[in-house]
Structures are given as structure tokens and as C-alpha cells.
A and B are shown apart, each in its own frame.
Chain A
């Protein structure tokens, strides 16, 4: 039996599974395509700032984004954008300004990764949430964003008023 294809597949799987990239199976897209799609589909945006080698990004991918219900919820209702917080690729902001992924991180204060930035379909930031978060946390953020509560309350106020 020729094991080379199997070993190659195992190597590829292990290489992919340890990268602090977007969680597998989610329809994450690049920044510019995601911003366009959000406007076209009038959907809110979840922008995921990851970092190459980031342990907590890997942790949240495995522990939280592996939940099938969460995957369904965010895949159906958000435009998902992944940005490498140290990356050098150039992005185009809704204002027309062009800057690198790393510079967008500096603008948005991406001091820790993962950083989850919720935006309106027009690209207006409504919440910035750093660090590891649970499935329940993300369900709360979804209610805050899609329920429009960000127009009246900060995220902390919303979470504090939760019954």
C-alpha cells in the first residue's frame, strides 16, 4: 500500500490545523471582498483579527467555532472577514483609503489577538472584543448586533442588563 498520499494528506491537515487562520468550514473572505458583500447583502460584519502563531486564536477556533450551531448562526447572518494583524496585504477602507492589514490593526487598536470587530454593513465599528470567548459569549454578541442594541447601549451595558 502506498502511504505517501495519506502521509501527505496528514501533513497538510496538521499544517492547516495549527495555523491561527480562520476556523475551518466558515465562509471567511478577504477584507475588500467582504466589505463589498456586506453592503450588497445588507449584512453585519464580523472581522476576525488573527496573528500568525497565535495560540488563543487556535484555541477559540477549536473550542468555540467548532460548535455547529454557532457556525450556522454566523455563516448565515454575517459577512465573515479574516485579517492577519501583522500582515502586509493592502486593503481598501470604505472611505477609499488604502492601507496594510497591519496598519488596519494599529488603527483599530488590535493590541491582542484574537480581536473580534463587529461592524454594520457600511463598515461602522459597533464592538471590539479581544481574547478567547465562548459559544455563549458569541450568541450574546449576535443578539447585541443583530438586535440593534448597539444603537442605544454599549456592549457592557447590554451584557449587564441581560436577564
Chain B
């Protein structure tokens, strides 16, 4: 199988080599790229922003790394107070970024320019924040926070004043009273509006829901995105199979959502995706190829650009150790899965975060463990760029 995949890669990557990977942060600590929606990497103008968490001081802290495209190292800025988790980043405009994270004070948001982050605002208790921005549709943040017995997804628009955002009054993603937990929101903004996806347990198992806004102000009622079946079904599925950790990106004139889905419950989670159709999403389907079917997939991320290119990334161990696997949307559907030399091989490569620039370069960050180390072994945080070849 490896030979076949190498052939696929060779066809795909003709005249396209990855840049030498950069070690982003000191090695040996517990690096995490765990932003809700896997929004750990963003591009604004010529700037690259990467946010992560590591434990170099003995406790988890959040960091922002910034670099201009040609620079070979990231400038590093700490974020948050006390223990800090799940930082997220999105492009705000031509040179600035929108940031969010969770720390001992709750959910926080800030802006960052080429010189680093500005002052932050606090949105109260919560976890798993996601951010998105568009020049005419505004900036937005979503997170989950307790609401009585349940976790509920909240969203707020952000007004940018100088170097600091200002949040409007938070609104529940679903105006109806919650009947079970919601969580792990993922936001994306594009020329056709803003989309918010989240995990939702209202049916007694975890499914993916979404809400859409055409103008950044009025949001649709929740709609189900994942087609994993609810209710008893052949195979004794109980209340239903699981779908989790949605990611969403704008590309061309629409949006693409991807998530982990266990409807084929014998082989772990699979990568499923759905493309937007009007204000909703079309029927979903597998984005992985059949060589991935017998093994579990994890950590799905999605990235697109305005010229309509779309890439989905995840990790799985089909070749013996965990590698980063990719697929591209083509006119014939999702391509056969492929790896890159720097993100595959005997080491344990996982947790991809991806972004696509307007020139068609795939920016990719990931976590790496040395060959043979166990799951608690020391990690490296790595980054590279790969020019997408013509499909």
C-alpha cells in the first residue's frame, strides 16, 4: 500500500516540495494543538500565526507564534493568565489576527498585529472557543459554557476598536432551552456569510449541528449536518453513533465542514465532510479513501482559499505509526489520501492544523513524537509549507 500511496504523492507533488520544517517551540514539553475547530493556524497578508499550548514551565500555558512568510522562526508571545488551554486564531484583516483562549479567568479574546497581541477582553466562564472574521460581516466568537444542567454553545459578535475587541451581548446558538449538552463550536466566515457548527447531544448521542448567518447579525435556527443515524437501527446502534469535533472553512463561494464520525462503528471514527448548499449543508459523505476504512481517524482539520481550493487533514496509523493524511477536493470528489515526507514515517505525527493561502500554499503545523516513544513521550511542534500542485 505504501508504494501505491507514494505513487499518488509523486503524481500530486510533481515539482512541489515542502519547505524545511521549522521547530516552533522548545522541544520536550507537552505541545497541544487543540483549538476547537482545529483553528490553530491562520494567515493574514504575509503573516503566519500559530497558537498552541505547552507545559514548559510545569503547567499548561498558551502561546502565539508570528512570522512573516520568509522568516525561518516564529516570534513567540505568551497568552493568558495561569493555566491556559485551547487557543484559537483566525485572520482579521490584511495584517491582524483575532485570538481566543481559555484560562483561569474564563474565555478571553484579543487582537494581534505583527508586533504581537494587544489587550484582551474576558467573556466569562467557558471552554473551547472559536473565532472567525470577515471584512464586511464582522468578527465573531463562539464557545461553550454551563447553562444550568447542560453545556450550551454561545456566540457573540466582536467590534474592533483600535487594538482591542469589544463583545456584544452573547447569544445562545440555539434559542430554544437546551435539552442536553452542546460543545466544541467551530466558526468560519466567507463572502457568503458566517457558519457556526457544534457538537450536540439533544438526540441522546453526539451529532453535528450548524447555524448560518448571511449578514453576521441574524442567525438561522439550528440544523443537523451529520447524517449519523439516530435511534435503534440494524446492528444495535442504541440511541445512535457518535460524531465529534467539527471543523469548518470557507472556500471559493461556500463552506466545507468536516468531522469525526462513528456511523461505521467497528473501525473507529472516520472522516466525514459536507459542503454548503444555500444556507445549509448538502448530504455528507466520507472524505477519506477506502484504505482508511479499517482504522480509526483522529483530529480532522479543513482549510480553503478564495480561489476554491480545499484540503482536509487528519492523522491515522494505517501504515503502522500515526501520520498526517490529506485529501483535496477535486472535480471528481475527494482525492485519494496522501501524506507528505515530512509528516509521515516512523515518528508519530499527529494533530494537524492547516491553512491555505491565496497562492495555493498549504501551511501545516503538527505534533511529533520520536519513533518508539509512548503516548506520554516528549513532543515537538513543527510547521512547514507545501505548494499545492495542480490536481
Chain A residues packing against B (C-beta within 8 Å)? 18, 20, 51-59, 85-86, 88, 90, 93, 95-100, 102-103, 106-109, 111-112
Contact = CB atoms under 8 A, between A and B. Distances in A.
Contacts of A97: 30, 55, 60, 376
Given A88-B183, A100-B34, A111-B268, A55 B299 contact: no
Given A58-B238, A112-B266, 13 more contacts: A51-B206, A51-B242, A52-B206, A53-B203, A53-B204, A57-B238, A88-B151, A96-B30, A97-B30, A99-B32, A99-B34, A106-B298, A112-B265
Interface centre among A20, A90, A102 (most CB of B within 10 A): A102
B34 A103 contact: yes
A98 B31 CA distance: 10
B206 A53 contact: yes
B375 interface: yes
A85 B199 CA distance: 14
A102 B144 CA distance: 16
B236 A88 contact: no
B127 A53 contact: no
B296 A102 contact: no
In the A-B complex, the 5 residue pairs with the closest CB atoms: A55-B238, A53-B205, A111-B268, A53-B239, A111-B296
B30 to A, nearest CB: 4
B242 A53 contact: yes
B254 interface: no
A54 B238 contact: yes
Nearest to B266: A112
A112 B127 contact: no
A55 B375 contact: no
Nearest to A89: B127
B269 A111 contact: yes
B299 A106 contact: yes
B154 interface: no
Secondary structure at chain B's binding surface: helix, strand, loop or mixed?
A: loop
Contacts of B183: 88
B52 to A, nearest CB: 13
Interface in B48-98: 55, 58-60, 83, 85
B266 A52 contact: no
Given A86-B244, A90-B85, A98-B85, A56 B236 contact: yes
Chain B interface residue count: which class?
35 or more
A123 to B, nearest CB: 9
A52 B265 contact: no
A98 B201 contact: no
B237 A96 contact: no
Contacts of A111: 267-269, 295-296
Contacts of B211: none
A96 B199 CA distance: 28
28 contacts: A18-B239, A51-B205, A51-B242, A52-B201, A52-B205, A52-B242, A53-B205, A53-B242, A54-B238, A55-B239, A57-B238, A58-B238, A85-B242, A86-B199, A86-B244, A88-B127, A88-B151, A93-B376, A96-B58, A96-B59, A97-B55, A98-B83, A98-B85, A100-B34, A111-B295, A111-B296, A112-B265, A112-B268
Interface in B191-210: 199, 201, 203-206
Contacts of B83: 98
Contact of B184 (A55, A88, A106): A88
Contacts of A56: 236, 238
Nearest to A57: B238
Interface in B122-156: 127-128, 144, 151
A147 B266 CA distance: 31
Nearest to B127: A88
A58 B245 CA distance: 24
Nearest to B265: A112
